[in-house]
Amino acid sequence: MDPKLPRVATQPEGSWDERDDLDRLYRRYAPWLGAMLRRRFGRGIEADADDLVQETYARLAPHDTTRIERPQALLMRVASNLATDLLRRRAVRTRHAQQVQREPDTAQAAASALDILLVKEAILQIPEPYLDVFVLRRFHGLTYEQIATRCGLTVKSVEWRLARAVEHALKAQAGLSGRSDR
């Protein structure tokens, strides 16, 4: 015999000749029902077992409880269905929460898209002699020496042109976005 379960849980169901009303039904089977829910569904509903027991009896309240022939079977069926629904709703909420975390906020995505567009426009406004050096450094990852060799410049000229390119891009971006702080 399981020491965690009330004695009622281990006894045969017996007849329902007494025709208890809902209050007696609750007093007689509520501890057993809570223990059976915890046993069947485990940790998934541990904190909600008492609420499920209450909801089970609330579902039976509109019905004539004097006509129930096998109260334990009925109570367990209703409570099991409620527990299954609860676990299913939790799973859906969890999946939804994970999906929301993976998807960026639409306003944030729009702001990011606008920022990207402003950066592209700012880069396109860099004068030609500086643009080549900027693109080779920032997008192709070439070193100053490699850029100097490729463009026929000195390393010092590459550094100077890159500084001018960044300066133009920042001014252009500030002008495009309406900000004067950059």
Distances (CA, A) of 129 to 5, 47, 122, 151, 163: 84, 69, 15, 10, 12
Domain contains 2: no
Q: What is the pLDDT of residue 112?
A: 77
Select from 102, 123, 139 the last residue of a domain. 102
Same domain, 33 and 82: yes
Domain contains 1: no
Nearest one of 26, 35, 28, 38 to 83, comparing CA atoms: 38
Torsion of CA 119, 120, 126, 131, to 10 degrees: 120
- What b/e string do you get for 27-55 counting C-beta neighbours within 10 Å, with b at 16 or more? ebbbbbbbbbbbeebeeebeebbeebbeb
Residue-level pLDDT, tens digit, the chain, 182 residues: 455 555 544 444 444 443 447 888 899 999 999 999 999 988 888 889 999 999 999 998 888 878 888 989 999 999 999 999 999 999 999 888 888 777 666 666 667 777 788 888 888 888 888 888 988 998 889 999 999 999 899 999 999 999 998 888 888 877 776 654 44
A 10 A CB-CB count for 83 gives: 21
Q: Which domain holds residue 82?
A: 7-102
Number of domains in the chain: 2
Domain contains 28: yes
Q: What is the pLDDT of residue 21?
A: 77
- The span from the CA of 75 to the CA of 31, in Å, is 12
Q: What is the pLDDT of residue 15?
A: 43
Domain containing 165 — which CATH number? 1.10.10.10
Question: Hey, is 152 helix, strand or coil?
Answer: coil
Same domain, 97 and 114: no
Select from 71, 102, 133 the last residue of a domain. 102
- The span from the CA of 2 to the CA of 83, in Å, is 22
Terminal CA-CA length for the chain: 77
Same domain, 114 and 92: no
CB-neighbour burial class of residue 79 (10 A; exposed 0-12, middle 13-18, buried 19+): buried
Domain contains 44: yes
Q: What is the pLDDT of residue 128?
A: 86
- Residue 127 Rama label (left phi>0; alpha psi -120 to 50; beta): beta
A 10 A CB-CB count for 137 gives: 20
> How many residues in total does the chain contain?
182
